């Protein structure tokens, strides 16, 4: 059985211990715990999607149809036309249609167990806290929020409500990424030394919310760069100690509020160095390669919704059977709720990423290396 990629602490020993404990929460077919099958025959948790943009429309809602333990049970949107269209498409009752001002009424709907927050980054805390106060578990898209303070507010609200908070790190449930973690963890090519990781694309419409700092919290780092950051953390099993970063902008009109491209170097406690990049100006940057004492391995593409594949320095390919990332993620969360197990990707994991990204932006701003921890 491949290890789950759980929360990452400062040492490999902690990673291994947590991975062993979390392995029972694996969502993939054939690896489902017997206790869940016995305790919850036919039971599906009702999910309400908050925010009906492209990700909900094209990825999450279709994925719900592929889950074993979840179902679409409600929606929250500020656009009446979307509400009407979704209600008809998914046969949702009137009582399960909400707008952002009526989210408190979720408390009166027992058909909804989990709220999946898919709104712009700077609204995640507001909607997570409302969902927790309504007594619902929360799955929140990454990045968790735009500041560490807001992340902590989300954690506190869910803890106070006695509900779980998971962050949408779907690649923790993707087999090829998990295989690379196995290669690193078992030191198949020896200890890791250097990691190259990056993710970027050429962004389109200049009017979209991703280019408005008040909603996004930043540019490509907050959007896709976080995947490269995550990769360095789950490959090493460590938290970075030192961050050095720089950013550039060539189109000052389009990127008036956020960075266009950004690169950073992270140094980890064991001495591993990660060189990372993210951009909104070009495509083709979409993978990682980990260099070890006796070889290398990596994925390209590594982070996209489908198509993960990779190579090893011994000539073998990395090409495990694909899964629906979002379905696997939601089924995992459902299983953890059913069994009263902690999610392997809780709010604390999102908070750790925010702290590192804050250090990256601080290094860009000051031109100095930032020490973490």
Catalytic residues: 142, 227
Cα–Cα distance measured from residue 231 to residue 239, given in angstroms and rounded to the nearest whole number: 11
The answer to whether 176 and 318 are in contact (CB under 8 A) is yes
Strands (E), 161-260: 165-167, 192-200, 242-248
Give 279's strand partners. Answer: 200, 261
- 112, 96 Cβ separation under 8 angstroms: yes
Give the 3-state secondary structure of 124-176.
Answer: HHHHHHHHHHCCCEEEECCCCCCCHHHHHHHHHHHHHHCCCEEECCHHHHCHH
User: If residue 54 lies in a helix (H) or strand (E), which one and from where to where?
Assistant: helix 54-55
Q: Which residues pair with 262 in a beta bridge?
A: 247, 278
Select from 264, 274, 198 the least CA-distant residue to 236: 274
């Amino acid at each position: 059985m491949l290890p789950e990629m759980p929360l990452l602490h400062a040492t490999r020993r902690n990673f291994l211990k947590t991975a062993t404990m979390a392995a029972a929460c694996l969502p993939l077919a054939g690896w489902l715990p017997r206790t869940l099958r016995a305790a919850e025959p036919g039971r599906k948790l009702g999910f309400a999607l908050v925010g009906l943009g492209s990700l909900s429309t094209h990825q999450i809602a279709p994925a719900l149809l592929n889950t074993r333990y979840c179902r679409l049970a409600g929606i929250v949107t500020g656009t009446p036309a979307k509400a009407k269209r979704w209600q008809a498409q998914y046969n949702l009752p009137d009582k399960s249609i909400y707008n952002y001002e009526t989210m408190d009424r979720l408390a009166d709907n027992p058909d909804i167990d989990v709220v999946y927050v898919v709104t712009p980054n700077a609204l995640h805390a507001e909607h997570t806290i409302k969902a927790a106060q309504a007594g619902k578990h929360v799955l929140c898209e990454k990045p968790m929020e735009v500041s560490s303070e807001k992340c902590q507010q989300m954690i506190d609200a869910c803890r106070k409500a006695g509900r779980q908070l998971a962050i949408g790190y779907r690649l923790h449930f993707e087999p090829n990424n998990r295989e690379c973690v196995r290669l690193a963890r078992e030191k198949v090519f020896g200890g890791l030394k250097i990691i190259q990781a990056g993710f970027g694309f050429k962004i389109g419409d200049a009017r979209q919310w991703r280019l408005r700092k008040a909603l996004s919290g930043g540019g490509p780092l907050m959007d896709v760069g976080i995947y490269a950051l995550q990769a360095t953390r789950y490959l090493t099993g460590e938290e970075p100690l030192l961050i050095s970063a720089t950013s550039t902008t060539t189109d000052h009109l389009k990127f008036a509020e956020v960075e266009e491209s950004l690169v950073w170097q992270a140094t980890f406690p064991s001495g591993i160095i990660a060189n990372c990049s993210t951009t909104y100006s070009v495509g083709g940057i979409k993978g990682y390669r980990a260099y070890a004492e006796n070889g290398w391995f990596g994925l390209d593409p590594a982070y996209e919704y489908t198509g993960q594949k990779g190579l090893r320095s011994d000539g073998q390919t990395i090409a495990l059977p694909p899964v629906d990332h979002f379905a696997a993620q939601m089924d995992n969360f459902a299983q953890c709720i059913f069994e009263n197990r902690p999610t392997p990707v809780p709010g604390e994991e999102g908070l750790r990423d925010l702290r590192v990204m804050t250090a990256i932006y601080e290094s860009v701003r000051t031109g100095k290396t930032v020490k973490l921890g």
